[in-house]
Chain A
Amino acid sequence: MADLKTPAQATAPAQATTTYRESVAEGIAREMRRDSTVVCLGEDIGAAEGVFKTTVGLFKEFGPERIWDTPISEQAIIGAAMGAAMTGLRPVAEIMFSDFLACCWDYLANEIPKVRYMTGGQVTVPLVIRTANGGGLGFGAQHSQAVENWALTIPGLKVVAPSTPSDVVGLMASAIRSDDPVVFFEHKGLFASKGPAAPPDHVIPLGQAAVIRPGTDVTLVALASTVPVALSAAQALAGEGISVEVVDLRCLVPLDMATVLASVARTSKLAIVEENPYQGGWGGTVASIVADEGFETLDAPVRRLAAACVPLPFADRLEDEVIPSVRTVTDAVRKLSAY
């Protein structure tokens, strides 16, 4: 785990790189240092430092009083996190694979997002549910799904899905400081990716999308793993004279439609790149808002590039078939630009 930055390191130029994986632990550690009510719980997160090594160093630094290994009891993990959040702690609960959210779905669907509302605002639930989401690692149908759309269907949950190491740290800070419940999707396919390390005190407010590549012909809206896909497609298309603007949503709730609508107003064409399945995917919500509120600015149909509506297959060649790739995105945007 990264140590507390010395002042010298802190002022060093941002070329220091780190991994997305290390940034998860770094983001949590920074908040644990500033707020003693932040505690972590999950399976194998302590001495074992996480099956994805996303909690490396936490147990060593914060000890068993703040880093709790749990039994394989997803309902107890999330239910206990909820009870603790209602009574003065800021728990950060890990669900190892996002597929397993189904095992404690009651808490995400019925308990955590509703308790404040149905008690007339009497209780507050400041918790974070972190989970490794998505495909690309060949884990098969029960360990590879992109399920961010599950969380999006529920009013009362904030939904975060960062794409870069420094965004992981900045959004983790906001998620843990939030007095609302946050589901924090860490993408498995991005864990090994590298990028500039987050500067000290890096905080990215929830609900602020980023225009990460400006362009004039087509807007590509992406999230987490589809951000590098969209950037590669934009890069390839630039060589063909097609200028693509890439928007990294970063959060599904709050959903920064102002940034998306403003981008579409500039480019007049929109494609959405999602890893979750087309059926019920988050792009449907984005597209419907653009159709409703940005119709006059559009010069072409909105395109959605999402996963095929099948369970995620195991073999790489099959998985690649199902999830949008640089090739499929490039082809679609080329056609859209010529529309």
Chain B
Amino acid sequence: MATTTEVDLLDLYEQMSVIRGTEKAAQDLFLAGLVKGTTHLAAGHEAVAVGASAALRPDDYVFATYRGHHHAMARGAAPAACLAELMSRATGLCKAKGGSMHLTSAEHNMLGSYAIVGSHLPMAAGAAWSAKLRGSSQIAVAFFGDGATNIGAFHEALNLAAVWRLPVVFICENNLYMEYTPIGSVTAVEHPAADRAPAYQLPAEVIDGNDVLVVRDAVVRAAQRARDGEGPTIIEAMTYRHFGHSRTDPAKYRPADEVEQWLARDPLLVAKQRLAADGIAADRIAEVDARAAKTVADAVAAAKAAPEADPAEAFTDVWADGGAQWRT
């Protein structure tokens, strides 16, 4: 029994390490001018994505936000393809037509990262509706920020999902801030997602979003409810960004002691402590760290070596026939 847990947690730890490394690489590449536009890094949020993914079936649907690199990778997208997308390369996950905010890996049923806050919650409800009508026993998961709970689409989606008893799990990554504003200062309730659940008679849990096993267990329960026909669950995972909101935001608006407290609860540290408590030797963890570092280094090298996007790609993929023709 110890072995399964041990292997599972080591594996989850490695996935989180790869995501952390990729996010750091993304930041370095941005600062070096190789990533244009913007990034919204998920360093600090890894346990939410990896823990949830560990609880899902490969055919379950995932919808994420512009802060979605971790969800794409947790579902199976290759770090090299993610970085190539950020770097406008032809080998990018979305052929360099999406960028950092729209990482999508349909082959892994990761059906998109959406940059209009809250817009994807109704979509996840719709994917769950589709699964229910097709009798596939798939479920859908929407990941969103604390800030998204104040937009109408959140409330419309929760109500629809509740009245139609859809197999969907709504997972809020509460990182205490919407952009630069503390969420508490603009929200009428303490827990922006969980405290709204009773209004829709939905069950909710507030969980430690920095403990990958806690996340996994909560999503296992919610997924089971969904598959059993008991409808949606809201999970509010408390977590924290290690970088600013986007680009080069230094996040000066966050008190130093708050940052310190949360860095001490870094999801990688939390997992390491659990591994140590389970009696996993330090050199085995170091081995995993080294392998993760190599995965990231190889991904950076592959993305850098990839060709720039072909300009002709600007005129493909508007329509299902592959083209962009709108008139005769």
Q: Are A89 and B133 in contact (CB under 8 A)?
A: yes
B137 to chain A, nearest CB (A): 13
Does A107 sit within 8 A of B, measured CB to CB? yes
Instruction: Give CA–CA (A87, B59) in the complex, Å.
Output: 11
Contact B125 A83 (CB under 8 A): yes
Q: Knowing A75-B156, A116-B317, say if A123 contacts B112 (CB, 8 Å).
A: yes
- Chain B interface residue bracket vs A: 35 or more
Decide: B134 and A88 in contact? CB cutoff 8 A. yes
The smallest C-beta distance from B126 to any residue of chain A, in angstroms, reads 3
Task: Report Cα–Cα, A274/B294, bound state, in Å.
Answer: 62
Contact of B127 among A73, A83, A258 (CB under 8 A): A83
Closest chain-B Cβ to A69's Cβ sits at a distance in Å of 10
B320 touching A79, Cβ below 8 Å: no
Residue B316, interface by CB 8 Å? yes
Q: In the complex, which residues of chain A have a beta carbon less than 8 angstroms from the beta carbon of B98?
A: 118-120
Q: Does A119 lie within 8 Å of B106, measured CB to CB?
A: yes
Interface check A240, CB cutoff 8 A: no
The reply to whether the CB of A84 lies closer than 8 angstroms to some CB of chain B is yes
Contacts of B140 in A (CB 8 A): 83
Known contacts A71-B160, A106-B116, A255-B327; is A116 also within 8 Å of B122 by CB? no
Identify the interface centre among B61, B116, B320, B321: most chain A CB within 10 Å of its CB: B320
Give which listed residue, B96, B125, B328, contacts A79 with CB less than 8 A: B125
- Asked if B102 is at the interface of the complex by the 8 Å CB criterion, the answer is yes
User: How many residues of A sit at the interface, in one of the four size bands?
Assistant: 35 or more
Min CB–CB distance B6 → chain A (angstroms): 36
Q: Is A80 in contact with B160, judged by CB distance below 8 angstroms?
A: yes
Task: Confirm or deny: A3 has a beta carbon within 8 angstroms of a beta carbon on chain B.
Answer: no
Chain B residues contacting A81 (CB-CB under 8 Å) are 126
Residues of B within 8 A of A259 (CB): 328
Q: Which of B29-37, B87-95, B171-179, B216-224 contacts its partner? A: B87-95
Are B106 and A79 in contact, with the CB atoms below 8 A?
no
Contact A120 B160 (CB under 8 A): no
Task: Give the contacting residue for A83; candidates B97, B107, B130, B152; CB below 8 A.
Answer: B130
Known: A75-B153, A255-B328. A80 touches B129 (CB 8 A): yes
Judge whether B159 is part of the interface by a CB distance below 8 angstroms. yes
Residues on B with C-beta less than 8 A from A257 are: 327-328
Q: Check A289 for interface membership: any CB of B closer than 8 A.
A: yes
Are B95 and A121 in contact, CB atoms less than 8 angstroms apart? Answer: yes
Contact A83:B320 (CB < 8 A) given known A88-B130, A119-B106, A254-B328: no
Shortest Cβ distance from B157 into A: residue = A76
User: Given contacts A75-B152, A254-B327, is CB(A122)–CB(B123) below 8 Å?
Assistant: no
In this complex, the member of B63, B92, B127 whose beta carbon has the largest number of chain A beta carbons within 10 angstroms is B127
State whether the Cβ of B121 lies closer than 8 Å to any Cβ in chain A.
yes
> Which of A70, A87, A156 interacts with B318 by CB under 8 Å?
A156
Please tell me if B322 contacts chain A, counting CB pairs below 8 Å.
yes
| Interfacial residues of chain A within 32-79, with CB under 8 A of chain B in the complex | 39, 65, 68, 70-71, 73, 75-76, 78-79
Cβ-defined partner of B126 (8 Å) among A65, A80, A178, A254: A80
A160 to B122, CA, bound (A): 25
In the complex, the answer to whether B106 meets A82 with C-beta atoms within 8 Å is no
CB of A267, distance to nearest CB on chain B (Å): 19
* CB neighbours of B320 from chain A (8 A): 116, 124, 126, 178-180
Known: A119-B94, A156-B318, A254-B327. A79 touches B127 (CB 8 A): no
Q: Which residues of B contact A39 (CB under 8 A)?
A: 133
Contact of A76 with B116 at beta-carbon distance under 8 Å, contacts A83-B125, A117-B318 already known = no
Is A7 part of the binding interface, using a Cβ–Cβ cutoff of 8 Å? no
A interface, CB within 8 angstroms of B: 39, 65, 68, 70-71, 73, 75-76, 78-89, 91, 106-107, 110-111, 115-124, 126, 155-156, 178-180, 207, 253-259, 289
Chain B contacts to A: CB under 8 angstroms: 61, 63, 92-99, 102, 104-107, 111-112, 114, 116, 119-131, 133-134, 140, 152-153, 156-157, 159-160, 163-164, 313, 316-322, 324-328
Q: What are 24 sample pairs from A and B whose C-beta atoms fall under 8 A apart?
A: A70-B160, A75-B122, A76-B153, A76-B156, A80-B123, A83-B123, A83-B126, A83-B130, A84-B129, A86-B126, A86-B127, A87-B61, A89-B130, A106-B116, A110-B119, A116-B320, A119-B106, A120-B93, A120-B94, A121-B317, A122-B107, A123-B104, A123-B112, A253-B326
Q: Which 4 A-B pairs have the closest CB atoms?
A: A79-B122, A83-B126, A80-B126, A120-B95
